[in-house]
A and B are shown apart, each in its own frame.
Chain A
């Protein structure tokens, strides 16, 4: 078990063994100019590892939407990437307001986005739905006024 101590929020995740790649990327909340740069970086890492294009595509969609969510709503967050021979896994943890009603947040079209987020071309209530559609395992948990933890696994066939 690993505990992420970097942020004030504590999340327990299962330690993945036999990984091919593992790294942690910081995402700054509210920094709209850089939004998407971590995902850009992660996509090129996955490409350089020679993963199949459809896997890279799913990972890129999941990662990008998650990054936009951190930038849009949280104070700060971390995207932890683990690649194993059979999976691409993201542990996405943020420190922020959390999600009071996850079921509602998952609905297509439901959004609490402000003008700034919408001007970037997001905030239409599609993000979480897109992530779920692109992943094989999607596990979202949140504590109001603390933060949100999203576990995403994409299987490599």
Chain B
């Protein structure tokens, strides 16, 4: 059963990665509202980190950041660094948090979006790509944060539901024990 869950988890992450990469390549450059753009690579990193933990989040962040940096006209290496750290920090809490605490996951992701966009704007300022911190943060950053969170909602919702239905990854031992006990009690009632 655990083996099945593991493969199911990998398949889900694979599908998620493909969807996010396609959206990043095809639509991210087309959608610009209020000076902000959607970063599907940040959504991918956040989702993987909240589903699979810090190690997977860190790896996903690095790979997603690499793709972002090498497909957009931006300073290469910057988003790699930021997303690697973001994936690690987001995933460092409870494993599979997305399925069990959707509201907490969303709040954490929103905070991560704020941090990523803020750090990115400041880094661009230090590199010299930007010259006005207020425009960088409030002109572009706020709109980008909102777009990132809005576009992440369907991903989070679908993955949380899919996970609850199939058992995405390893559940905490306490949950499995509780389920086993519940099953045992049912069997006991049937027999008697």
Q: Do A and B bind?
A: no
Query: B residues touching A (Cβ–Cβ < 8 Å)?
Result: none
